[in-house]
Amino acid sequence: MARNGAEGGEGQSVPRLSSSSRIRTGPDPFLVVCRCFSFLTALTAILCVAVNVLSAVRSFKDGSDVFNGIFRCYAVVIAFIVVVAETEWGFVTKFWKVLEYWAGRGMLQIFVAVMTRAFPDYSSSQKDLILLQNIASYMLLACGVVYVVSGILCIGFLKRSRQQKEITREQAVKDLEQLERRREELEQLLLAERV
């Protein structure tokens, strides 16, 4: 007599997990929004890197303002740190714990935005570069303000908590699938022995 999808025998078989008994939920919408905002912030920081590199090259090439060029080089390095922080790479957050918290990350972004906007040269030949500086700095400033306010409201803590739950849920699903595969292999071996 068959029980729960297994061939009959002396002992009871383990109930089979049907596809309807598995609960598959989609990705957490809150985490999706956080990832999209992080991606936008990283792109804005990359724009700041590009603008500061262009400004540094022009400063050094003209030879008119070496100090502005050096300042821009520092802005490039710090903007690159913002980009790496947005990847939430464990290596970075291990050494710079302040970047794990949204308020600290937002303050760094605001600092880079101010550095990008500082010392504009209003010559008519550089209007395109000044426009790029303004766009990049104000976009990163807006991202930084959102991060600081969200950090004060403990939304970063909520995100880390939901990420941990998502990782735990994904691991549980993988473990269940592996257990199901092993159970099916055992059933096939038992059937082969009976025949």
Q: How many domains does the chain have?
A: 1
Low-confidence ranges of the chain (pLDDT < 50): 1-12, 14, 17-21
pLDDT in tens, 30-55: 888 889 999 999 999 999 999 999 88
Domain presence at residue 40? yes
Name which of 71, 70, 143, 152 is nearest 108 in CA terms. Answer: 143
pLDDT of residue 186: 86
Calpha distance 185→179 (Å, rounded): 10
Please give the Cα distance from 128 to 15 (Å, whole number).
69
pLDDT at 63: 72
Q: What is the pLDDT of residue 41?
A: 93
Domain-embedded: residue 99: yes
pTM of model > 0.75: no
14 within domain boundaries:
no
Q: Which residues fall within 8 angstroms of residue 37, CB to CB, at 6 or more apart?
A: 143, 146
pLDDT of residue 3: 46
Q: What is the pLDDT of residue 193?
A: 80
Per-residue model confidence (pLDDT) at position 6: 45
Residue 35 lies in a domain: yes
Residue 118 domain-assigned? yes
- Are 108 and 85 within 8 A, CB to CB? yes
Task: Give whole-number Cα distances, 169 to 23, 30, 176, 180, in Å.
Answer: 10, 16, 11, 16
Cα(110)–Cα(78) distance, integer angstroms: 11
Q: What ranges in 6-117 are assigned the alpha helix state H?
A: 29-62, 66-86, 90-95, 102-117
What is the pLDDT, as a whole number, of residue 24?
53
Q: Per residue in 109-133, is it b (16+ CB within 10 Å) or e — as a string?
A: bbbbbebbbeeebeeeebeebbebb
Question: Helix %, strand %, coil % for the chain, to 5?
Answer: 75, 0, 20
Domain span at 137: 29-156
Is residue 68 in some structural domain?
yes
Q: Give domain status of residue 121, yes or no.
A: yes
* DSSP 3-state of 163: helix
Closest by Cα among 81, 79, 102, 121 to 160: 102
Does a structural domain hold residue 21? no
